[in-house]
A and B are shown apart, each in its own frame.
Chain A
Amino acid sequence: MSSVIIVILVTLGTLFVLLSAIGLVRMPDTYMRISVNTKAATLGVGLILVGTAVFFNDVSTTSRSLVIILFVFLTAPVSAHLIGRASYFMGVKLWKGSIMDDLRGKYQKNSYILKSETDETPENNVDHTKMKDK
């Protein structure tokens, strides 16, 4: 009985990891790749680790897997936000099919201060339409 549960959990987790790898190759844009991998890979690894906890059926291993799941679930959004912010400042362009860029003209180029309104002095702001390709 428990092996059926393990097979279901591990298969689902592996499918999510495979889908995130396919998304990493197929997505047209850095930001979309970040979005795919934060969700799918984290969920897949979480399911595989729950399968490990079911297999060993033991307090020490279950707590170990739960700690790993908690850590991965806490740190994946943080690291995705950090790398997305850094790539926006580096001038990584959005996909040409993206219809809007909410941050356009709102980040100061030198001090990195975020404003809620578009400023009057647009030459000081990060604007991807004026940056050269990276």
Chain B
Amino acid sequence: MTLTDYLYYVILPVLAFSVLLIVYRFIKGPSIADKIIALDVLITTGIGIIGVYSIIHGKSTFLDTAMILALIAFLSTVAFSYYLEKRNRKK
């Protein structure tokens, strides 16, 4: 079993299964904070999947996408929590 086969048939299904679990929490989440956390972890897992894909295909340019995704994840969490606090303060 080569490295590519191992990554393709073992690692990626496990990562996809964890994405499914996170999506379950994203849909169910009792409060809106849970949904925001699930979104953050979803993007973090996406960075991991992009890293594994860049090993499989041998192309390092995929890592630029991962960098931009990390930036967007941080920015979206900050914006969501800022507006949640602000909405709460008005009442």
Contact = CB atoms under 8 A, between A and B. Distances in A.
Contact of B3 (A7, A25, A86, A89): A7
A37 B37 contact: yes
Contact of B15 (A17, A25, A72, A82): A17
Interface size range of chain A in the complex:
35 or more
Given A7-B6, A18-B18, A42-B44, A30 B63 contact: no
Contacts of B66: 49, 68
Contacts of A72: 44, 47, 70
Interface in B14-58: 14-15, 17-19, 21-22, 24-25, 30-34, 36-38, 40-41, 44-45, 47-48, 51-52, 54-55
Interface of B: 3, 6-7, 11, 14-15, 17-19, 21-22, 24-25, 30-34, 36-38, 40-41, 44-45, 47-48, 51-52, 54-55, 60, 63-64, 66-67, 70-71, 73-74, 77-78, 80-82, 84-85, 88-89
Interface of A: 3, 6-7, 10-11, 13-14, 17-18, 20-22, 24-25, 30, 33-34, 37, 41-42, 44-45, 48-49, 51-52, 55-56, 58, 60-61, 64-65, 67-68, 71-72, 75-76, 78-79, 82-83, 85-87, 89-90, 92, 110, 112, 134
